[in-house]
Structure 1
Amino acid sequence: MSLTTRSFIARPTATGYTGVYVSFDGMPASKLPLLITAFQYRFGRDLEAMTRHLVDDVAIGWEELGSDLLDGAPPGIVAALTGGDAWPSRTLDNLMTLDGSPPTRMTVTESTVANMDVEWGYVLRPSGVEVFPTNYAVAGPVVSWDADPLTDFGNPASWPTVTPARSRAPSTASPLPARPGTSRTTARL
């Protein structure tokens, strides 16, 4: 698991989603427990407050989402998710442009994701977190907000999912064929 796996966190829109870039540790095995725990405890199941904090109130993007998102969670969950370490969430405030102009927000949408250097996307939906690899133009599972944050999210077969009551907006990303000898689902997860 690479800590440099890039991802994005987004809110749903009428055409798909809009969100911000996250530089480090974007794999579902780390992002899903963090997001589910943050929703259940730090944000007290207030999806709008969580979305404002993670998506709307970020000027440029996130360098890293930290253990501060676990505030209010039971100590056993925090210890299991962090190994006892603590680190702050950090935004990308230290960027410099070649011409000296201020950096711009690193917005990711269904129209721009194909041109962004991200591997995973997390859309914060009312029913749960939609998670999908961005190199496929298919909707991913929506992992319920009621999921146990200690679920093995490194094993997609164990994800507690819900069926969203929505239609997927068309993506501009090109679907990649499955690797020989694997099913389409296995190849994309």
Structure 2
Amino acid sequence: MLDPENSLSTRSFIARPTTGTGYSGIHVQLDGVPSHHLPLLLAAYQYKFGRDVEAMSRHLIDDVAVGWDELGTDLLDGAPPSLVAALTGGEQWPSRTLDRLITPDGSPPRRMSVTDETADGQDMQWGYILHTEGIEVISLLHEDIGPVVDWATDPRTAFNDHPAAWSSLDPAPVTRASRSTPPPGAPAASPAKAHAPRPATRR
């Protein structure tokens, strides 16, 4: 279950793929672990954005002036109440951007873009790449690429937050949702799979 009361500064980014194995995206300051981001992103794709990954990318990446402070339950708009309750326990909190960030010299904050060339220097811990087939989860403490979680995966699935568990050579470390049937209107859950076309790069 998502827990807004225990927000942690776990830096991550959400990005779209670019040429080759590259990506370009935006910084997210809080709660960057898979157990927080993946349920929100999967549900947002399946319901709020009507399975339109480009519309989702525009909202999460292109339309953000500076960066995200945190992702909130507004991403669950349109999802069945039973799914929202299962993910949040009835709690609600909005997504918040960093538009009001105050810089040391008082100048306007700059957009906090993240790419495959800058992620290391920005001390990113997790990356979420929005591919057409699913979300590539990168544990940047260990690799530059990662396994892909299929868009059809049930958002109630339990996701492992241990950085070493997300190897590009193995299927994503997930535990099936406890319920045997997916929420109304959602496609049947598919197993997460390794991102086979991309060679592993160990850090």
1:6 to 2:11 alignment: yes
- Paired residue total: 172
Aligned partner of 1:133 among 125, 136, 139? 139
Report the Cα distance in structure 1 between the residues aligned to 2:32 and 2:159, rounded to whole angstroms.
Answer: 12
Q: Which runs of 5+ in 2 are unaligned?
A: 1-5, 162-172, 177-190
SS of aligned partner of 1:60:
coil
Deviation at 1:163, TM superposition (A): 4.5
Asked if the contact 2:129–2:136 (Cα under 8 Å) also holds between the matched residues in 1, the reply is yes
Which residue of the partner structure matches residue 193 of structure 2?
162
Match of 1:38 in 2: 44
Distance in 2 between the 1:143 and 1:157 partners?
9
- Identity, % of aligned pairs? 57
Deviation at residue 100 of structure 1 after TM alignment: 2.0
Unaligned residue ranges in structure 1 (runs of 5+): 176-189
Is 1:153 the counterpart of 2:173 in the alignment?
no
Which structure shows the higher helix fraction?
1
Please give the alpha-carbon distance, in whole angstroms, between the structure 1 residues aligned to 2:88 and 2:115: 30
The answer (yes or no) to whether the contact 2:17–2:130 under 8 Å persists in 1 is: yes
Asked if the contact 1:36–1:149 (Cα under 8 Å) also holds between the matched residues in 2, the reply is: yes
Does the 8 Å CA contact 1:127/1:164 hold for their aligned counterparts? no
Deviations, residues 151-175 of structure 1 (Å, cap 9, x unaligned) = 111371437213546436x97xx71
Measured in 2, the distance between the counterparts of 1:165 and 1:45 equals 23
Which whole-Å CA distance do the structure 2 matches of 1:113 and 1:162 have between them? 24
Moved more, 134-143 or 149-158: 149-158
Listed as ranges, the matches of 1:3-152 within 5 Å are: 3-15=8-20, 16-152=22-158
Gap change, CA 1:89 and 1:124, over 3 Å in 2: same
